[in-house]
């Protein structure tokens, strides 16, 4: 059945290391998004992509990088430049934007902990 | 500057009663609004949405009301059930725009048996 998968569910990283979070969707959605959630905070947009091979910075892109080589995949790399990487990371997708509003569908999330 | 505000971090109600979750926004360009429900360590799930051409949308126990002049929306859950206990996020966007959604910080609803 269709949906969004994120792996792994829990991820531990040593300070100073880069780490890549996976996000795959089989919903045939054009747009994909990465959010970060911290305790007591809403969802903050890191990066988003409307189409393959194109992506835009969100509100908190510093210390992160993404790629969109395939429609189904939108991996997020948390680099050592990210000062506070410990957080819950959520990937989402939606049907091609701009036609009309469409809700975003979310994956189960990845909890990243920096040791 | 928060464009979408949920001023109540938490709300507690008795089972069977009505839950009312509030959301305010500042950007008059927003013209559609969504509510998401989130359990701990899971992704948010879409609940209900409303376009600015309407002032009410209903889906089962969930009703969203929009007051454009006040830039305010609310989610009513009636009757509330213990399984409704979760964090509820309000989100706003622009139709045909950049497709970004702006989320509030969420309200944690606890429904007591």
Question: What is the residue-level pLDDT of chain A in tens, covering all 115 positions?
Answer: 669 999 899 999 998 899 999 999 999 998 999 999 998 788 999 999 988 999 999 999 999 999 999 999 999 999 988 889 999 999 999 886 555 566 889 999 999 999 8
> What is the rounded distance in angstroms from the CA atom of residue B67 to the CA atom of residue B88?
19
> What is the rounded distance in angstroms from the CA atom of residue B40 to the CA atom of residue A36?
14
Residue B45: its chain A contacts at CB < 8 A?
Answer: 106
Residue A101: its chain B contacts at CB < 8 A?
Answer: 32, 49, 51, 93, 95
Q: DSSP secondary structure string, A24-42?
A: EE-S--SEEEEEEE-TT--
Region of poorest pLDDT, from A97-106, B58-67, B69-78: A97-106
pLDDT bin (cut points 50, 70, 90) of residue B94 is confident
Nearest chain B residue to A44 by CA: give it: B103
Average pLDDT over residues B83-102: 86
Mean pLDDT of chain B: 93
pLDDT value for A41: 83
Are B97 and A98 within 8 A, CB to CB? yes
pLDDT exceeds cutoff 90 at B10: yes
Are A101 and B41 within 8 A, CB to CB? no
pLDDT value for B72: 97
Are B96 and A99 within 8 A, CB to CB? yes
Are A98 and B96 within 8 A, CB to CB? yes
Specify the 3-state DSSP secondary structure of B35: strand
């Amino acid at each position: 059945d269709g949906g969004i998968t994120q792996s792994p569910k829990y991820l531990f990283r040593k300070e100073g290391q880069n780490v890549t979070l996976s996000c795959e969707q089989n919903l045939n959605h054009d747009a994909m998004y990465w959010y970060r959630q911290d305790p007591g905070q809403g969802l903050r947009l890191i990066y988003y992509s409307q189409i393959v091979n194109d992506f835009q910075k969100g509100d908190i892109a510093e210390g992160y990088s993404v790629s969109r080589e395939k429609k189904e995949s939108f991996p997020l790399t948390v680099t050592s430049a990210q000062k506070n990487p410990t957080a819950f990371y959520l990937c989402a997708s939606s049907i091609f934007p701009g036609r009309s509003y469409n809700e975003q569908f979310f994956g189960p999330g990845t909890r990243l902990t920096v040791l | 500057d928060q464009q979408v505000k949920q001023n109540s971090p938490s709300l507690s109600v008795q089972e069977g009663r009505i839950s009312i979750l509030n959301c305010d926004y500042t950007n008059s360009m927003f013209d559609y609004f969504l509510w998401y429900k989130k359990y701990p360590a899971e992704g948010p799930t879409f609940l209900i949405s409303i376009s600015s051409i309407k002032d009410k949308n209903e889906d089962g126990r969930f009703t969203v009301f929009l007051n454009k002049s006040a830039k305010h929306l609310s989610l009513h859950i009636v009757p509330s059930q213990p399984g409704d206990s979760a964090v509820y996020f309000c989100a706003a966007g622009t139709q045909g725009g950049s497709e970004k959604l702006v989320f509030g910080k969420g309200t944690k609803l606890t429904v007591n048996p």
